Amino acid sequence: MLDLEYDPKPLYNGGSVQNADQDVLSTMRKMYDDGIEKLLHPELGYKNIKFDNSKDFACGMPISDVVSDTLHYKEKVYGFCSKTCKDEFLKNPNRYLTKRN
């Protein structure tokens, strides 16, 4: 147990906003802010894409509400509300595309 003794002095200066290097702090804040926006609003990444479907094939949700996954299939771009719905479409694409037409 004596070999596992803990030295309470940190190896680097940090651990709080007051002690951290300000360049590191601002870089980390920017990385967090950019990342969290994409997680909270995945549809923003797809706002300039023209989809060839107006509703999610698997669940029927309007694509205009939310798109979190896409698929290029037979020279068309389809939007899906989730990876689960896209995977369901991929099991039998012709079933969904035939029903659509």
Domain count for the chain, please give it: 1
Q: Does the residue 2 lie in any domain?
A: no
Could you tell me if residue 13 is inside a domain?
Answer: no
- pLDDT score for 70: 93
Per-residue model confidence (pLDDT) at position 31: 84
Domain range holding 53? 19-100
C-alpha separations of 64 from 31, 32, 42, 61 in Å: 28, 27, 12, 9
Average pLDDT over residues 84-94: 95
In degrees, rounded to 5, the angle at the alpha carbon of residue 63 between the alpha carbons of residues 69 and 99 is 95
Confidence of residue 4 (pLDDT cuts 50, 70, 90): low
